[in-house]
Each structure stands twice: as structure tokens, then as C-alpha cells.
Structure 1
Amino acid sequence: MNDRLAIDEVLPLVACGRFPSKSVVGEILPISAVVWREGHDALSATMVVRRPGGARDRTTMVPGAEPDTMHALLPTDAPGMWSFRIEAWSDPFATWRSGIVKKMDAGQDADVLGNEFEVGARVLDVAIARASKAGLHDRATLLTDAATALRGRGDATSRTAPALSDAVAAELAADPVRELVTSGQTHRVWVDRREAQFSAWYEFFPRSTGGWDSDGRPVHGTFQTSRSYIDHAADLGFDVVYLPPIHPIGKVNRKGRNNTLTPDADDVGSPWAIGSAEGGHDAIHPELGTTEDFRDFVEYSADRGVEIALDLALQCAPDHPWAEAHPEWFTVLPDGHIAYAENPPKKYQDIYPINFDLDPEGIYAEVLRVVRHWTSLGVRIFRVDNPHTKPADFWHRLISEVKRTEPDVLFLSEAFTRPARLFGLARRGFSQSYTYFTWKTTKADLVEFCEQLLVHVDEARPNMFTNTPDILHESLQRGGPAMFAIRAALAATLSPAWGVYSGFELYEWQPVASGSEEYLDSEKYELRPRDFSAAEAAGQSLAPWIRTLNRVRRDHPALQQLRTLHFHEVDNDQIIAYSKLDPATGDCVLMVISLDSHGAQEGTLALDMAALGYPADAQFTVYDEVTGSEFHWGPANFVRLEPWAAVAHIAVIPPCDPARRVELTYRSHIVD
């Protein structure tokens, strides 16, 4: 490899190239590098791409706004492992052209430019030979005429005119003369299917879908009764349904209602206390149905445009078959008992965590078998419970092996944890990651949080859940229905992937105690059927707003990615504004959202017109997807939001010039 020229700061780059960066089918991935050399000779760069299957493409890069920076766009149109490398090369024709133009502008005539004429002609000779060998006779003729003119008679202008023409420039751009070619390192990009980035998730407990008996008591649901919840999720516009564990639930140390240690005989226990004499991680709770019932349920969901995401929680109830067959997989305390799970102040006496250091090969083989079992039944998405409490290298190995033969399988990391762990797990293969969005409620926190996500956009894809069975944030407890609308609007438009836990659309807000984020009468420990239709008929449902959000997300490619997220100034900390732009279509959407669920808020919105692709003084008409109204906006605009009317504007901005969209895409790399 020739190291004559310098290639630095190649992006995207994850962990110094140790792990591949991420993309999805249909995304336009910006590639950039700093390419430089000594002196004043011109140089350029080529992006050489290897596609899945081995085919290669070459694209000449374009100079960026920053000196020595080169850019290219990589349309990732197929799943699998891609790779690219940058080739830097000296451009003798561009060097000659720049030099002779400067000399002619300085008044030098043909009498003193003889060497320069011949240098240019010799560069053209190389291009002519390449064109002739390739059978490109028209190109060869054009270049031959230019070389002949340089070697002919006449003044400098007439002799150089053919070589300096746009036609010759275009031909040499298509097949340039390259010298001192230097190849950079190869960089990998793993391309997932589109749903790894853009998806809307709905979580429900299948066992809560059985309704009530004639005495008003909840009836245990089945996969058959769960079909009504699939229909509900599809009606709201969700395309992924996540099911908490569907396995047999342990009887030893079973929890009662509201996490008590004194269950009644009919208490159903926590689904995360996995395993009993009826089976473990590869078994189905007998009251839900059979394996065939589950397979039919997956097919039913797919017919309605909904994928099933299954929980992968690597922990056991005390009576799980693993606890008897593999006691070496668990931590034994000095008194001889197996340690149960704790997350102080929470205690999980009904759960044994697995110790991955005691028999790593045996545990790995068994978990891989379990995952393969569920993929054979049609599951293509796993929501992984607490992956940050298991070794990172375990996940890297497991996910890599699954994707080696089933590249369409996706893994969501439920890692509510510190950034190093969250992003570290994402690097090691997780397709999506839960985030701290649930706790980000002020404008300053939201902006800082999203800008951190943008720094890691090539390695981690956020999934912003508004709530979970474990997390009922204080803002939802105190904010009233409008706060539910606000949090849904933020999650659905800030992130291309978002989700809600069932009951969110019914404004369920009561905590088990003041200061707690646990729900009163938590569904983790009891059946909790819901009547969605009755609530909506009574006007006590967020369903219409959720339908609107998911429709707008489907209609606007700008909202289906994170990379171009840009915040705009509003002189009121209770209003947040941000835009997204899709480089392929020009679709551009601006969100203006109130953070106050109790009172009206107003202010002046100062648009960063350059980030929208427009001149600083531009004026345009925007269409509001929320109200159907049109507004005439420019650099500064008065906005007012009233939570009892509409908590947000979702404004569609006319597409800017295509060349400007490309430039904005080049600049979407953010370096920490």
C-alpha cells in the first residue's frame, strides 16, 4: 500500500474501527475524510465500496466547506455487511489546469508556456490511452483534439481552450488520471433492515387481554384474546408489539399484588420470574396457549402489519429447570443460598440472576439455543431485559452469531444505564437502545440529551419509550392528559423509534406511593384488562393523537431518521423547536412543542434558515399537520400553544434546493 498521501479523520468510525458503524436499508450515509499532502499540487479522493456479496463501486468524493475535507454519500440499499475505504490521489490534470490559468492571468504568453503546454498534453495522453483501451472512442477523440491543440500553434488562449473546456473537465472527472494513489484502511458498516431504525412500539401483557367475568373479575388472557390488542395497536399505527415474558412463572417466592411477599392463591406473579416445573425460557405459560397458538398469533399479527418482539430476560425463578440442572450458573452465598436479584431499594426475591463467569460456554450455548428456538417460530425481534448486567462480550458473540445466519433479527437493549454502557452495548451489536428520554423533561435537558445521541448516531439507535411497566415518571403523574400528549409528541418526532406501554393512551397516572415511579396495582403482578373502545367513545383516550403522530411519521421520511435533527431558538424555555430534513426527498418537518401541560405558552421562534436549506431572509408557507392550517413564516415567527387545543405544531416546510440538501447531509456528521 502506498502511504504517499495522508488520509485522516475518516467518518463514520466506531471505536477506532473495532466495531462496524450502523446504517439501514434506504439510508443515505454520509462519508467524510481529511485528505492532504505537502505543497500546492491538487489532490482528490475516491470512496471504494464493497457491497454484501462482494460487488464493488467507486465514487469520486467532493470537497467540503472545510479545507482538505472530502465527502461522499453512500446509499445503503441492501442488508448485510458493507465496507468502504478512501483512496487519496494526486490529480495532475487539476494541478496543471490551475497552474496554467494562473500564469495566463498573470500575462504569460505562448512564448514562455511551452513546457506547460507539453505537461498538459502528456497528462491528456494518459487519459487518451485509457479511453482507447476501454473502447470509448468519442472520449478519446475529444481528448486527442485537446492534446493536439496544446502541441499546435497559436496564442495561449486558443491552444488551451479545448483542454480547459467543460467537456474535457467532465470526461476527466468521469475517469481521472490518478497518481500517487494511497489506500486508506477498510471501514465496516452493518446495514440492518429498515425497521431497526424506524418503528413504533406498543407493549402489552397477553395475560391481561381476557376481559372480565360476569362478577367483574379479570380473566387470564390467551394468545387468542390477545388478537384484539394486536388490532388495537395496528389501529393506532404501531408496527411492533412487544410482549413481556410469555414463559411459565415460578411459584417459589412468587410476588403478590403491588410487589408484596404474601401472594394469594390466585395471584399470577411476575412474568420476569421465569420458569417453573412447567418449563423455562423455551416454554410457553400454559394459560396463554400452545406453541402452535403462538405461531398462529405471530402470523395473525404479521397479517395486520405488526411484528412481535419477544422479551429475552436471562434470569430465573428459583424453580426454573436451570436452577436444578445447572446450579453452577448461579451465585451461591456463604450461607449456601442462591443470591436473588436486587436493585436497591428494590428486591426481587422471586428472581435468580445468572452468573456469566461460572460456566460461560454452557450458558452461551443454551441462550443461543433458546434464541434459535423462538426465531424458528417466527420471532425476528428481541427486547433484551437488563443487558447491561451481563458481560458485553457475551452479547457481541451472541448477536454476531445469530445475525451470521439470520441477519434480519433485531435486538433492542433495555439498558437504562450510564452512557458508556448504553453506547458500548450498541457498538457490540444491539439494533436499538432504550434511553434516558423518560427522565428528560426540560428544554435544556432534552437538547443536551439529543445532542449526545447525535454524537453517537453511527453506533446507536435510540428508542424513546414514554413509559414502561417500571417507569411512571412524575411528569405523567402530575401533568394531566396534556402531558401525555406532549411526551408522545416528543418521543414520536425526536426519535425514529418510539414506544408506549399499554394504558398510556388511557392516561393511567397513579403511582403506588408518593415519590415512586411504580404504578398502583402494577400489571407486573396482576391482571389488568382495559376497555379501549369505551374510553375513546367517552372522550377519555389519547388514541386519536397517537394515530395522528404515527400517520405523520409514516408520511414524512424526515421523521424516519435522527441524523439531521436540528434545534431552533425560541425565547421561551417552555417551548421547544426542532427540525428534520430527508436528503433523498427534500421532505422537511419542523416541530414546535409546548412543555407546559397546564397553561398557554407563547414566544418568538427564530428559525436557523441555513439548517433548513434556505437563505437567511427566506419566506415560505408551511402546512401544520396538527390543525390543517397554513402559516407564512420567515426567520422570526410568533407562536402560541394552548394545551387544551393543541400541544404542538408539526409544520411541513417546502423542500429546499437539492444541492443544498446534499450539503446539509455532508455536514450531518457531529464529532465529539
Structure 2
Amino acid sequence: MGKRLKIEAIYPVLDGGEYPAKCVVGEHLPVSAVIWREGHETLAAHVTFTGPLGHDAERRELTVPLRLADPGEDRWEATVVPEETGLWTFRVTAWSAPWETWRHALRAKLDDGQPADRLGNELESGARLLERMTDGMREAERVGVLRRAAERLRDATLPLPDRVALALSPDVTQLARLHPLRALTTESDAYPVWVDRPRALAGAWYEFFPRSTGGRDAAGRPLHGTFATAAAELPRIAGMGFDVVYLPPIHPIGEIHRKGANNALTAGPDDVGSPWAVGSADGGHDAVHPALGTWDDFDAFVEAASALDLEVALDLALQCAPDHPWVSEHPEWFTHRPDGSIAHAENPPKQYQDIHPLDFDADPAGLATEVLRIVRLWADHGVRIFRVDNPHTKPAEFWHWLIWRVKASHPDVLFLAEAFTRPAVLKGLARLGFTQSYTYFTWRTERDELADYARELADSAHFLRPNLFVNTPDILHASLQHGGPAMFAIRAALAATMAPTWGVYSGFELYEHRPLRPGSEEYLDSEKYQLRPRDFAGALAAGRSLAPWITRLNAIRRARPALRQQRHLTVHPCDHEAVLAFTKTDPATGERTLCVITLDPTAPADVTLTLTPETLGRPAGTPVVAHDDITGEDRTLSASTRLVIDPRVAVAHLLTWSPR
């Protein structure tokens, strides 16, 4: 026969425990399970969370009671807060609780008015349970309390209320919790959870091309930037409140089939080519572009970023230019066409003649080992975050192998998957171990689809962490092409509040919005193929910069922990189709932030929200006073709350309060 006590539907578990769920240090991780057995016995349970082997050769262990959160569904819940990075495991232990079963039954019979002469068996059963509770108990005072309670239950000379008073007292209840009686104790399997450092969950990213930071010469021609000129941009980026600077590939760029401006098939003598066409006679993925500087210069850039509390993220683009050293040294790592030539990359109808994709079939072990060496090389130079280009075009098992071997030597390394692909593939890569994922946020513009996507991302928090980039060098959404500056502010507000991690590609703050052609999502004069020096200071001085709004959003995110959470999000009904309203909650403090964002950059919105007592954290009919971090004003929130959003003034209200 199987186990009498059933533990089912355990959360968070990925694919039966094949892959670890995700959490970060200090995050409140919900654990739940459906627990049941036949009859009406009272059950109890706890979760044991066991950490990695520490420096002292000991494992951290947390044991947290589960509470019955939904009696109708037999669902039990607890919250665990891990304090160390690494691979943890958890298991659920459940048991029948004889003492609690006895207390519940006795109270029901007492409330029914049953006399002592009908409760003899119940009182004797209670006394025996109290005696069992003293087994192995060393504290004489505690033993005495329990034995006196048992004696009173057996003393027929006492009135019934006096016989049961001590057994039902808070003192005995507390001792029963400290020394619980258990029957049919049952354990679940152990399931893994990978605990990352906090940056894996929350942060603000800024993408820029170091080569575009060289300014212009006296004739107005762009000059190639260096790591030194790129480092000069870091105070501006840090000043906007960003946490991560993401660099596209900084390796040598191929000469053969180099692309010209706007992806022209023929490059001119001064064209710099696409950084994603990695490799030339100057080296491959383990080299820096000589025009940017040396390894020492790169190390100095990383140090300069660190001094400003910025992390450096580097693009990991596993593809090669035709003159990459691997092409001649390892031809087996590439796909050969029937005529003997090496296939270039394609995404029909797009053609990438300057790039050879890698083939992982001929020598998968050799290629994987080389990539592992490269990642560890950059990690040793201070890079702890890798943005992975097109991971969905490489074998899934390769990523699983690589990520966990990197984490074995560098457990603080994070991987962002640039996987704009089918949902199953995007989510599958997250399950395999990618720390964060690009998402479909860029293409979600209507209220209902944004609301649905916000809920989906919150529900997926145990394995998929979103990074909501508002734009990329490849993606200029139509809403930004035609929506004007207010639409840029709207998209920034949505990304910065819907998810704990968001990102901006340089030029967004300057409202760059011209597409290559009508209907295209590619930028005109794309920085992928040419230098794009920008006058950020001049635009700011002239009032043509979104930088102040971005700075405010990042400051609010740092001040409001609810905005750095993914799991705790509630979308609210409202009577305006161009307004999205949702609340995020910080589980540590209970603080809530209500985000009300217009989606229409052209007209004011007069909207009424419906807020439940659970959202407000107060009894029904009780309003709260919230602080609006956008206007600086205090506002009263109630079950029906009216707000006006004028995009000419501000595109959002961000209101925070604590129900405590």
C-alpha cells in the first residue's frame, strides 16, 4: 500500500525537479503543497530548506511551518527567505497531529454541551496524549505542567470546566507546539532551488556602444571611441540611476563581407562593420577590438564602472565573421554547403553574409569546452553578467551544460537570454538555467494584453525573470516611431514598474524614432553598422531629453522595494481602456505601490479604479493615504478611486502606502 498521507502539487518545482527553481538572496520564496488524508484528522506540515555546503563545511538549514491557506483545496503555504547564494533544496514534511485533533474534537463536544459522563473516553485519551508528550522531555517544569494537565483530565471530582482548563490553556498549547506529537509522518522528495545574488532579480540596464563615444573631429566626422572615452560616459549613466552597463560585442570585427551603413552589402573604406560579426586577423571572442584599446584598458573600464556601483554586462555572441580564427583552425565547427563553402547566417528574408553560425554537431565537446574557456576568461576580467545573443539558435543541452559549469566556478555569474522566439523555447531556456530573459513586452501595447502579460510574468517568477527592454539596436517599435516623446515616457514607466529589471538602449532618452523604412522596426542609420556619437548634454540643456524622467523612475524604484519584486502583482479594474493600473507589494514590509499609467500619449485620462480591501490592506470601507512619488502629493485611496492623468504633465501616478 502507498502512503496514507498525501503530499501533492508542490511549488516551486520545475519538470519534476529536473531543473532548479529560481530565487535570490533575501527574496521571499513562497512554498506550497496540497496535503490530505482520509477522515477528519488534523494535519500539520513544515518545509525544510537546505543550503549549499558552506566554508565551514556545514549546510545552512531553515525549517518553516506551513499553514493551511485554503482548507477547501487542502493547500498549505509557507514563505522561505534564503540568505546565501548557491544550490538549495527543499522538502515538505507532513504528519497527522493527534493532540490538535483531540483538542478540536473536545472543543466541539464541549460547545455542544455534552456532559462529563459522556466524555470519559475523550478525557482519558487526552491524558494519555499529554503523557506521551513528556517522553524524552528534560525540562522538569514543562513535564510538571503536562502531568498536572493529565491528572486534572482524570480527576472526576472536579467540575468539567476545571478538568479541561489546563489541557486547553495557552501554556499547554505552547508546549504542544514545541514538542509536537506526530503520526504517519511523510516526507516529499527534495527539490532544487538556485539562489542568485539580488542583481539577478532587480536592476536597471543601459546599453551603449563604446565605439560611438569618440565624438567628432573638426570636420564633423565621427571618431572611433575607446574604452577610455566610454568610461567618460559612465558618470552620466550612473547619474540616471542605472545599475548595469551592457556592451555589445567588443571583439575584433571581420573584414570579409563587412556590412556598410544601413546593412549595405558593400562596405566603404571607413565603415566599421557590425560588432556581431565577431573575429578577424586581430583575434576572436577572447580578444578586444584594437581600436577600443587593450586588455588593460578594458580592465580600467570595468574598474571605473565598479567605482560608480555599475556592473558591466558583455554580449556573448556565438557566431563568427568569415575571417574569425576558428574558421581556419576549426572548420568542423561550421556548416558546409554542398559546394564546400561555409553557410552564412539567415533569418529569411534577412541575410547576414558577414556572419557564419556555429554548428554544434560535428565536435560538440570541443566547441563547448572552448566557449566555457572564453566565458571564464571574461569572468576573470570582472564580467559577471552575459547577455547571450540568439540562444534559441544553439542546442538547449549546450546551454544547460555551459551555464552550470560556469556557475560551478563563478556562482555569481548571470546570463540574460536574448530569445525573441516562440513561448515554449523562451520558457524552456529559462528552465535550463538562464537567469533572465528578454520578453514580448516590446510588442505589448494595449491595456488588456499588458495586463495579461504582467500577470503571466508574475506567475512565472519561480523560473522566468523578465528584463523589459524598451528598445534595442534591432527593435524600434511602431509605437515609438509615431507616439512622440510622451510615448517614450509611457514605455519607460511601464517597463520600470511592471518588472524588477528593465533596460534602455542608448538614444532612447533622445527620442530617436526614425525607422529604416515605413513598416520596419530597424533604425535608420543603425548603430549596428556605423558610429553614432550623440550630444546628450546639449539635448538635456535644450529640454529634448528623457533623462530626467528615467532618473526619477530609477530613483523611485530604489526607494520602493515593491517595484523590485516580481511575484506580488495585482491588476485592478478601471473604467478607461487607455489606462493600466496595478499594485505591487513588498512581502517583507507589506508596503504597496499602486502604478496607474496612461497608454495614450495624446489626451488626458479621467479614470476610476476599483480597489479591494485586500489591496488597500484595510477593512472594507477604510481608505488609506498614499504618497504620489510623481507629483509629491498625498492622495486618499478607497474602494472607488478617481485619478486624472495628463500626459503633458506626467504619464503615470506611482502611489505608495503601508497598511501597517
Q: TM-score, with normalisation over the residues of structure 2?
A: 0.97
Partner of 1:226, secondary structure, is: helix
In the TM superposition, residue 2 of structure 1 has moved relative to its aligned partner by 8.2
2:49 maps to amino acid: V
CA distance in 1: counterparts of 2:237 and 2:574, whole angstroms: 35
1:55 maps to amino acid: R
| Unaligned stretches of 5+ residues in structure 2 | 54-58
1:58 maps to amino acid: T
2:136 maps to amino acid: R
In the TM superposition, residue 31 of structure 1 has moved relative to its aligned partner by 0.8
1:147 maps to amino acid: A
Q: What is the aligned counterpart of 2:64 among 59, 68, 83?
A: 59
Moved over 3 A (4+): none
Q: What is the aligned counterpart of 1:581 among 573, 585, 592?
A: 585
- Contact 2:616–2:638, Cα closer than 8 Å, also in 1: no
Alignment partner of 1:111 is 2:117: yes
1:148 maps to: 151
1:16 maps to amino acid: G
CA distance in 2: counterparts of 1:156 and 1:185, whole angstroms: 45
Q: What is the aligned counterpart of 1:176 among 172, 180, 184?
A: 180
2:536 maps to: 532
Q: Deviations over 1:117-171 (max 9, x none)?
A: 2211111112212332xxx333323222212211223122211110111221122
Q: What is the aligned counterpart of 1:190 among 190, 194, 203?
A: 194
In structure 2, relative to structure 1, the CA distance for the partners of 1:579 and 1:202 (3 Å cut) is same
Alignment partner of 1:301 is 2:305: yes
In the TM superposition, residue 60 of structure 1 has moved relative to its aligned partner by 2.1
CA distance in 1: counterparts of 2:33 and 2:111, whole angstroms: 33
2:56 maps to: none
2:219 maps to: 215
Question: Superposition pairs for residues 28-427 of structure 1, below 5 Å?
Answer: 28-53=28-53, 54-67=59-72, 68-132=74-138, 136-153=139-156, 154-427=158-431
Partner of 1:305, secondary structure, is: coil
1:257 maps to amino acid: A
- Contact 2:472–2:504, Cα closer than 8 Å, also in 1: yes
2:89 maps to amino acid: S
In the TM superposition, residue 71 of structure 1 has moved relative to its aligned partner by 1.2
CA distance in 2: counterparts of 1:260 and 1:216, whole angstroms: 23
CA distance in 2: counterparts of 1:19 and 1:501, whole angstroms: 32
CA distance in 1: counterparts of 2:266 and 2:597, whole angstroms: 45
Alignment partner of 1:486 is 2:490: yes
Partner of 2:70, secondary structure, is: coil
- Contact 1:569–1:605, Cα closer than 8 Å, also in 2: yes
1:30 maps to amino acid: P
Task: Give the length in aligned residue pairs.
Answer: 653
CA distance in 2: counterparts of 1:459 and 1:560, whole angstroms: 16
| Unaligned stretches of 5+ residues in structure 1 | 658-672
Partner of 1:126, secondary structure, is: helix
Among all aligned residue pairs of Structure 1 and Structure 2, give the percentage whose two residues are the same amino acid: 54
Partner of 1:125, secondary structure, is: helix
In the TM superposition, residue 3 of structure 1 has moved relative to its aligned partner by 2.4
CA distance in 1: counterparts of 2:62 and 2:124, whole angstroms: 34
CA distance in 1: counterparts of 2:409 and 2:70, whole angstroms: 42
CA distance in 1: counterparts of 2:100 and 2:537, whole angstroms: 69
- Contact 2:585–2:593, Cα closer than 8 Å, also in 1: yes
1:584 maps to amino acid: A
Per mean C-alpha deviation after superposition, the further-off stretch among 20-29 and 7-16 is: 7-16
Partner of 2:313, secondary structure, is: strand
In the TM superposition, residue 617 of structure 1 has moved relative to its aligned partner by 1.8
CA distance in 2: counterparts of 1:216 and 1:474, whole angstroms: 31
CA distance in 2: counterparts of 1:418 and 1:199, whole angstroms: 25
- Contact 1:2–1:180, Cα closer than 8 Å, also in 2: no
Per mean C-alpha deviation after superposition, the further-off stretch among 94-103 and 6-15 is: 94-103
In the TM superposition, residue 76 of structure 1 has moved relative to its aligned partner by 1.4
Per mean C-alpha deviation after superposition, the further-off stretch among 364-373 and 102-111 is: 102-111
1:100 maps to amino acid: L
In the TM superposition, residue 19 of structure 1 has moved relative to its aligned partner by 0.8
What's the C-alpha RMSD, in Å, of the aligned pairs? 1.3
1:433 maps to: 437
Q: What is the aligned counterpart of 2:480 among 476, 479, 482?
A: 476
Partner of 2:79, secondary structure, is: strand
Q: Deviations over 1:258-300 (max 9, x none)?
A: 0001111010000000000100000000010111111111111
1:622 maps to: 626
Question: Superposition pairs for residues 550-565 of structure 1, below 5 Å?
Answer: 550-565=554-569
Q: Deviations over 1:221-254 (max 9, x none)?
A: 0000001221111010001000000000000000
2:643 maps to: 639
In structure 2, relative to structure 1, the CA distance for the partners of 1:138 and 1:55 (3 Å cut) is farther
- Contact 1:314–1:385, Cα closer than 8 Å, also in 2: yes
1:3 maps to: 3
CA distance in 2: counterparts of 1:130 and 1:21, whole angstroms: 38
1:441 maps to amino acid: T
1:665 maps to: none
CA distance in 2: counterparts of 1:445 and 1:104, whole angstroms: 55
- Contact 1:41–1:91, Cα closer than 8 Å, also in 2: yes
Partner of 1:294, secondary structure, is: helix
CA distance in 2: counterparts of 1:171 and 1:241, whole angstroms: 55
CA distance in 2: counterparts of 1:483 and 1:267, whole angstroms: 33
- Contact 1:2–1:183, Cα closer than 8 Å, also in 2: no
Partner of 1:423, secondary structure, is: helix
CA distance in 1: counterparts of 2:2 and 2:190, whole angstroms: 14
- Contact 1:570–1:577, Cα closer than 8 Å, also in 2: yes
- Contact 1:423–1:456, Cα closer than 8 Å, also in 2: no
Q: TM-score, with normalisation over the residues of structure 1?
A: 0.95
CA distance in 1: counterparts of 2:471 and 2:136, whole angstroms: 62
CA distance in 2: counterparts of 1:214 and 1:130, whole angstroms: 88
CA distance in 2: counterparts of 1:138 and 1:349, whole angstroms: 83
1:508 maps to amino acid: E
In the TM superposition, residue 637 of structure 1 has moved relative to its aligned partner by 1.8
In the TM superposition, residue 455 of structure 1 has moved relative to its aligned partner by 2.7
In the TM superposition, residue 452 of structure 1 has moved relative to its aligned partner by 2.0
CA distance in 1: counterparts of 2:113 and 2:483, whole angstroms: 75
1:145 maps to amino acid: R
CA distance in 1: counterparts of 2:142 and 2:212, whole angstroms: 72
Partner of 1:181, secondary structure, is: strand
